[in-house]
Chain A
Amino acid sequence: MFSLRLAVRFLKSGKGQTVLIIIGIGIAVAAQVFIGLLITSLQKTLIDRTVGHQPQITITSATDNGLIRDWQTITARINAAKLVNTVSVSASGNALVRKGTKTTPVIFRGLDAQADKIYNISSSVYAGSWNPSSQGILIGRDLEQDLNYNLGGYILIQTPNGTEANYRIDGFYDLGIASLNKTWIITSLSTTQSLFGYNGSITAIEMTVGDLFQADAIAAHLKADLNNNNLTIDNWKAQNAQLLSGLQGQSLSSLMIQIFIIVSVVIAIASILAITVFQKSRQLGILKAMGIKDLAASLIFIFEGLIIGLAGATFGVILGLVLIYGFAIGTAKPGTPALIELFIDYQFIAISWLIAVAAAVLAALIPARRSLRLNPIDVIREG
């Protein structure tokens, strides 16, 4: 391909200029990839840490006593719909912990084995162990420290209607959230049911979904499917509208930055290639005198755009990945959770690469058009 050969020669003849423009595009693409991946990773990390380890859809009772009686039928139906990852039932109630003269309000949480998939209880237990069928209980780090309990010791629980019972402490957990560590007493479903006299009923069905952002749609689907006025179906998106709008604002500003970067790349390439047409006008004039056709002459610049676009975009993607990995490694502190958990979105990277290449070719159209207007006689006349 003659035009391609010419494009390569023209680029090689101005090596310094070519390398500079490739570095320029590379830095712009690297900035785009870095910002895009950083924001995505930050958001994923934030969402994962805030709602990843809690139920994303919760079904509670709309009745006065707050109990769900026919929960086996409901969970069977939910499981059959195959819309959610985990379905866990819980029976909870407010209670008081009494130690000496001190009373502390707590939530007595009876959970089934599935709850482990939502709350990661077994990996949060730092002393003792969790057995979802045990009659014993788990208490959180903050409550342990406040009231100074020992593993294997007993804890006195009092319900609002006056029932009192002692429970053995099977273990201590740390869910990473102080309010939970202070107020949740985790035990088995049957323990809570018998303490509060729920008579086999539960208080909530908790679920996690595959795609967090589909939680509202899945919740709506379940609502229609269950069609039960005695149930309230809630999802994390509805409960965290402010967090969501904050994230959307962040995404939008990231998008704006990326658009500005692309626009500057296009303008930079177009102006540099336009200068190339001017620089090479003598050569173009000679080639036209020797019979190069307009299309072939324009293609020289399109190929130049394509070559620098490919080189710049590839360099940029590599540089962007180096930067984001460098950022993740550089900000990591031993012993604390990473600032961000890297989420490398290959589709985003591929799209960024493709946009940069397309932008380079598009920018090359301007000088390509200019080359059409070049008349060999003008070049020859001027010497």
Chain B
Amino acid sequence: MANIVELRQIEKIYKGAGDVQVLFGINLSFEAGSFNSIIGQSGSGKTTLLNIIGTLDRPTRGEVIIAGRRTDKLSKDKLAEVRNEIIGFVFQFHFLLPEFTARENVLMPYWIQPRHPRKEILKRFLTWWACLNSRTNWR
């Protein structure tokens, strides 16, 4: 399978009173459809790496290629589009929008665009939703 994410010579230095380098020339690629884990000690740079892969942060040096597009030089708005269309996040803490229902939170990325989810996606969503609803009282 083709690579969905590819990192080339990624370095990340946090600038401050004393510069801290977290990532040192990372070369990494993920195949589409694969399931991967990143394991490491606390403070080893897992979150930094994920933030860069998720385009929430930019590398100090190196290239990030997501779905064939170089993202490390994209504008803020273009990056927002990439995140909205290609990337899904599951955060460490449950980051939900309390002003919206659970269903609305799930559909949020479509609202941002705005566009309607494809039929098969909606069908899958409704199946899962029915499944969840049989056990909970979510709205």
Contacts and interface: CB of A to CB of B under 8 A. Distances in A.
B76 interface: yes
Contacts of A296: 112
Given A292-B80, A294-B76, A377-B51, A282 B85 contact: no
A283 B100 CA distance: 11
Interface stretch (A6-14, A94-102, A337-345): A6-14
Interface string B75-101: 011001111110001011101111110
A290 B83 contact: yes
A298 to B, nearest CB: 12
Contact of B109 (A5, A288, A291, A380): A291
A292 B81 CA distance: 8
Q: Name the interface size band of chain B.
A: 20 to 34
A287 B83 contact: no
Contacts of B56: 289, 376-377, 380
A282 to B, nearest CB: 7
A383 interface: yes
Contacts of B47: 381
A35 interface: no
B112 A2 contact: yes
A2 B100 CA distance: 13
A221 interface: no
Contacts of B98: 13, 283
Contacts of A244: none
Contacts of A5: 111
Q: Name the interface size band of chain A.
A: 20 to 34
Contact of A286 (B76, B80, B97): B97
Given A9-B100, A12-B99, A283-B99, A291 B112 contact: yes
A263 to B, nearest CB: 31
A79 B85 CA distance: 78
B109 A290 contact: yes
B74 to A, nearest CB: 12
B97 A292 contact: no
Contacts of B112: 2, 287, 290-292, 296
Contacts of B33: none
Of the candidates A282, A290, A295, A296, the one having the most CB atoms from chain B within 10 angstroms of its own CB is A290
B128 to A, nearest CB: 19
A287 B80 CA distance: 10
Nearest to B86: A291
A69 interface: no
Nearest to A12: B99
B109 A10 contact: no
B114 interface: yes
A380 B56 CA distance: 10
B31 interface: no
B51 to A, nearest CB: 6
Interface string A132-150: 0000000000000000000
Interface of A: 2, 5-6, 9-10, 12-13, 282-283, 285-296, 376-377, 380-381, 383
Nearest 6 CB-CB pairings of A with B = A291-B84, A291-B83, A9-B99, A13-B99, A291-B80, A286-B95
Given A5-B111, A12-B99, A288-B80, 8 more contacts: A283-B98, A287-B112, A289-B89, A290-B89, A290-B112, A291-B113, A376-B56, A377-B51
18 contacts: A6-B99, A9-B100, A12-B99, A283-B98, A283-B99, A285-B95, A286-B97, A290-B109, A290-B112, A291-B82, A292-B84, A293-B80, A293-B81, A294-B76, A294-B80, A377-B56, A380-B95, A381-B47
